[in-house]
């Protein structure tokens, strides 16, 4: 390539300013190893962006004017220092120059705080962080949550005792002047430039051909399932649901106000201890290009959303993103979901449906994007799942939160000789001299690229046949309820939220095949996954029927009907005993005979308290007796 100089550059209209951005250095430096020997040297560090500042005007060329004769002079800034002219060459007046701000040249500047990724933090240490300054076109090239490789010059600058005076401290602050940002796609180490991600040239033509060839194989669905967490034995249906979450559905903006329609899939894993729930969460976290792994016990409300802290550099109040915001356009894995506090759970309602997080504190009012899928795991209250109780009673989660999960899987550890033997052989094989026992059918990097390419470039649409199949499947699921007509006493086996979940699952099934159109087979597989997940989670243990009211309201239809019948029968019984005093056990036995079911004493006491508030009875809870007033009417 010939070198063009002088007028040749002007004739080609090439900008006179050329920026050289070296990257991909041979050696990668660690934040903890940066010492005074590294000052003013070119280096590369890797970490996760946790905070970015607004754009700051950075003075590049200062414009001075003599206040006596009007002589002007321009001074270029060198490492943050301005060499102010002391004497005017025209009138020879000393210290007569003044700075003209509106004629100075400014450029964009942004402060980026980069923190060590969790897998690079030594045991027992807290993550180290460093300030990175980005200039010009590197401003807004990264955002909180991105894993990046920063190439730049390590600098040291003296701290001022007071911003108004030039006296400085003997302690210097360190930072990195960024020259290049390289986004790290995943923890495996593969990375691309930020501008490559923007222009869609992230994958090489050879890689795209390899991905397209994989999508054309007839058994691509099974190969993807077998490649997901190969060290976990069986659990194929759970892996298929998690695979649908990794691919995701289409997000849409609807209406004139551009309301966001969620395309991300949320999954809850509920089960006994030792059923590989946390291991599956860890694998998904490593496979996802963006995301945060956190525990429900150690997470607070501000830790999930955003906290307002005082910036140590500017002493201003700034927002620091939490786990949900850092997982934007990724996956947030939450372990021990059942051990979250009530305040923390309340935050998730908005994030899981509207996919935003609203903040109003310390004078800062903002709505942050949290377009993330949530993969959560929870343990039963008594460590072991009780089949005679509902999911809500087993894990003590509010129904309004449970209903926002597209799939709820029950992973139970039921004794079975055949399954126990196969599981034991698989676990022993992990430690025995057979490394090929967990050899996945697909390479980890190939699986990661296959998912990333599908999410970025494949946006399937529903066909006419698929739409009809969805409507028919939804009506069939609604018809699966039991009871009379007219809506009263009818069990709800599907709600509109389940229909939206079916649409998202069907779109993710089409994405797995790199198909632009959702087919009937995609809908049928989505319906099958939905039924597998809800058959156990939404089955009423008292009637054996699927009842979505258990998840949406926390109580089954049979429980509500029993309570209504119990209240009516109790009134009829007390009408005949006006003016008498009865024991609670006596009333309970008579009601059990009338209704032909075992009446729980707690349910009876709740109804008696309501009747006492209405002035119908006088209930002595200590003596467990009831006095029936004369005003009781059947």
- Answer for the pair 379, 533: CB distance below 8 angstroms, yes or no: no
Measured between alpha carbons, how far is 427 from 434 in angstroms, rounded to an integer? Answer: 11
Structure-model confidence comparison of residues 222 and 255, the more confident one: 222
What does the pLDDT read at residue 201?
A: 43
- Mean pLDDT across the chain: 76
Model confidence pLDDT, tens digit, residues 399-432: 778 888 888 888 877 666 676 676 677 667 666 6
Give every CB contact of residue 550 below 8 A, 6+ residues apart in sequence.
390, 391, 392, 399, 538, 540, 556
Structure-model confidence comparison of residues 192 and 66, the more confident one: 66
The upper half-sphere exposure of residue 173, i.e. CA atoms within 13 Å in the direction of its Cβ, equals 13
Region at 188 (left for phi over 0; alpha for psi -120 to 50; beta for the rest): alpha
- Answer for the pair 358, 367: CB distance below 8 angstroms, yes or no: yes
CA 388, 394, 398, 402 torsion-angle sign: negative
The DSSP code for 313 is: T
Show the DSSP H helices in 291-404 as ranges.
301-304, 323-326, 342-353, 391-395, 399-402
What does the pLDDT read at residue 163?
A: 61
What does the pLDDT read at residue 263?
A: 80
CA 393, 397, 403, 406 torsion-angle sign: negative
State the residue for tokens 């009907």: 561
What does the pLDDT read at residue 420?
A: 64
Closest CA to 235 of 266, 278, 280: 280
Structure-model confidence comparison of residues 83 and 188, the more confident one: 83
Measured between alpha carbons, how far is 599 from 587 in angstroms, rounded to an integer? Answer: 10
Rg (CA), the chain: 33
Percent of the chain with pLDDT over 90: 1
User: If residue 132 lies in a helix (H) or strand (E), which one and from where to where?
Assistant: strand 129-135
What does the pLDDT read at residue 199?
A: 33
Structure-model confidence comparison of residues 455 and 257, the more confident one: 455
Q: Is the pLDDT of residue 451 over 60?
A: yes
Cα angle 555, 561, 563 (rounded to 5 degrees) comes to 80
Measured between alpha carbons, how far is 379 from 336 in angstroms, rounded to an integer? Answer: 7
The DSSP code for 38 is: G
Q: Is the pLDDT of residue 138 over 80?
A: yes
What does the pLDDT read at residue 482?
A: 46
Average pLDDT over residues 129-139: 88
Average pLDDT over residues 50-69: 85
**What's the full length of the chain, in residues?**
634
Average pLDDT over residues 434-444: 62
Return the CATH number of the domain spanning residue range 557-628.
Answer: 1.10.10.10
Structure-model confidence comparison of residues 192 and 130, the more confident one: 130
Model confidence pLDDT, tens digit, residues 14-47: 455 677 788 778 888 888 888 888 888 889 988 8
Structural domain boundaries in the chain: 31-198, 557-628
Q: Is the pLDDT of residue 109 over 80?
A: yes
Question: Looking at domain 31-198, does it have CATH number 2.40.50.140?
Answer: yes
Lowest mean pLDDT among 91-100, 159-168, 189-198, 285-294: 189-198
Q: How many CB atoms lie within 10 A of CB 440?
A: 15
CA 200, 205, 211, 212 torsion-angle sign: positive
- Answer for the pair 578, 619: CB distance below 8 angstroms, yes or no: no
Measured between alpha carbons, how far is 553 from 398 in angstroms, rounded to an integer? Answer: 8
Closest CA to 403 of 474, 501, 482, 475: 501
The upper half-sphere exposure of residue 180, i.e. CA atoms within 13 Å in the direction of its Cβ, equals 19
**3-class secondary structure per residue, 204-246:** CHHHHHHHHHHHCCCCHHHHHHHHCCCCCCCCHHHHHHHHHHH
Q: Write phi, then psi, for 449 (nearest 5 degrees).
A: -70, -35
Q: Which two tokens stand for residue 239?
A: 């892996």
Average pLDDT over residues 339-346: 78
Measured between alpha carbons, how far is 617 from 587 in angstroms, rounded to an integer? Answer: 13
Cα angle 586, 587, 588 (rounded to 5 degrees) comes to 90
pTM above 0.95, yes or no: no
Average pLDDT over residues 86-99: 83
- Answer for the pair 136, 19: CB distance below 8 angstroms, yes or no: yes
Q: Is the pLDDT of residue 189 over 70?
A: no
Closest CA to 292 of 375, 216, 226: 375
User: Facing residues of 583 across strands?
Assistant: 625
Closest CA to 345 of 307, 301, 387: 301
State the residue for tokens 């560090």: 45
Measured between alpha carbons, how far is 504 from 263 in angstroms, rounded to an integer? Answer: 6
What does the pLDDT read at residue 82?
A: 79
- Answer for the pair 12, 5: CB distance below 8 angstroms, yes or no: no
Q: Is the pLDDT of residue 469 over 80?
A: yes
Measured between alpha carbons, how far is 430 from 139 in angstroms, rounded to an integer? Answer: 47
Q: Is the pLDDT of residue 250 over 70?
A: yes
- b/e string for 601-617 if b means 16 or more Cβ within 10 A? eebbbebbeebbeeebb
State the DSSP string of 528-574. Answer: HHHHHHHHHHSB-TTT-SB-THHHHTSS-HHHHHHHHHHHHHHHHHH
Model confidence pLDDT, tens digit, residues 591-601: 777 766 666 66
Measured between alpha carbons, how far is 418 from 432 in angstroms, rounded to an integer? Answer: 21
Model confidence pLDDT, tens digit, residues 289-319: 777 888 877 777 777 877 777 776 666 777 7
- Answer for the pair 214, 446: CB distance below 8 angstroms, yes or no: yes
């Amino acid at each position: 390539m010939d070198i063009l100089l002088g007028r040749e550059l002007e004739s080609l209209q090439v900008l006179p300013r050329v920026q050289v951005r070296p990257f991909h250095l041979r050696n990668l430096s660690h934040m903890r190893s940066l010492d005074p020997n590294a000052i003013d040297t070119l280096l590369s560090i890797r970490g996760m962006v946790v905070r970015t500042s607004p754009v700051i005007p950075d003075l590049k060329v200062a414009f001075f004017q003599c206040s006596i004769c009007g002589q002007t002079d321009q001074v270029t800034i060198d490492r943050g220092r301005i060499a102010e002219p002391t004497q005017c060459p025209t009138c020879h007046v000393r210290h007569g120059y003044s700075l003209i701000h509106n004629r100075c040249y400014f450029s964009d500047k942004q402060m980026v705080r980069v923190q060590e990724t969790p897998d690079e933090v030594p045991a027992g240490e807290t993550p180290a962080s460093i300030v990175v300054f980005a200039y010009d076109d590197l401003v807004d090239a990264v955002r909180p949550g991105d894993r990046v490789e920063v190439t730049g010059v390590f600098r040291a600058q003296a701290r001022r005792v007071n911003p108004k005076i030039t006296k400085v401290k003997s302690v210097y602050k360190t930072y990195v002047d960024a020259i290049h940002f390289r986004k790290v796609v995943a923890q495996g180490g593969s990375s691309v430039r930020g501008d490559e991600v923007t222009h869609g040239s992230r994958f090489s033509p050879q890689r795209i051909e390899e991905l397209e060839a994989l999508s054309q194989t007839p058994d691509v669905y099974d190969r993807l399932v077998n490649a997901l967490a190969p060290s976990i034995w069986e659990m194929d249906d759970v892996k298929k649901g998690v695979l649908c979450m990794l691919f995701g559905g289409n997000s849409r903006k609807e209406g004139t106000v551009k309301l966001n329609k969620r395309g991300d899939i949320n999954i809850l894993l509920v089960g006994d201890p030792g059923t590989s729930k946390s291991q599956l969460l860890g694998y998904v976290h490593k496979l996802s290009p963006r995301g945060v792994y956190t525990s429900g016990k150690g997470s607070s409300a501000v830790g999930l959303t955003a906290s307002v802290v005082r910036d140590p550099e500017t002493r201003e109040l700034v927002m620091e993103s939490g786990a949900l915001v850092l997982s934007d356009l990724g996956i947030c894995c939450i372990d021990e979901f059942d051990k979250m506090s009530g305040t923390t759970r309340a935050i998730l309602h908005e994030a899981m449906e509207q996919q935003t997080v609203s903040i109003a504190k310390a004078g800062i009012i903002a709505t942050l994007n949290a377009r993330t899928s949530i993969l959560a795991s929870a343990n039963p209250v008594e460590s072991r799942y009780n089949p005679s109780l509902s999911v809500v009673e087993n894990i003590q989660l509010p129904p309004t939160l449970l209903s926002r999960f597209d799939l709820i899987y029950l992973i139970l550890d039921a004794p079975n000789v055949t399954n126990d033997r196969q599981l034991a052989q698989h676990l022993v094989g992990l430690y025995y001299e057979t490394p090929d026992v967990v050899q996945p059918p697909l390479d980890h990097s190939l699986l990661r690229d296959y998912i990333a390419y599908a999410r970025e470039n494949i946006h399937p649409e529903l066909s006419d046949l698929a739409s009809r199949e969805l409507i028919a499947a939804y009506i069939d699921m609604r018809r699966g309820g039991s009871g009379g007509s007219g809506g009263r006493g009818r069990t709800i086996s599907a709600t509109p939220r389940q229909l939206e979940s079916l649409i998202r699952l069907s779109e993710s099934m089409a994405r797995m095949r790199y198909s632009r159109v959702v087919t009937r087979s995609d809908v049928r597989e989505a319906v099958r996954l939905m039924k597998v997940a809800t058959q156990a989670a939404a089955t009423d243990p008292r009637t054996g029927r699927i009842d979505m009211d258990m998840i949406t309201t926390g109580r089954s239809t049979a429980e509500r009907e029993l309570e209504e019948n119990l209240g009516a029968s109790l009134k009829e019984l007390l009408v005949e005993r006006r003016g008498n005093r009865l024991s609670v056990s006596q009333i309970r036995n008579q009601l059990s005979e009338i209704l032909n079911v075992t009446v729980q004493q707690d349910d009876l006491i709740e109804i008696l308290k309501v009747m006492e508030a209405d002035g119908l009875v006088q209930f002595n809870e200590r003596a467990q007796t009831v006095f029936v007033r004369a005003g009781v009417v059947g």
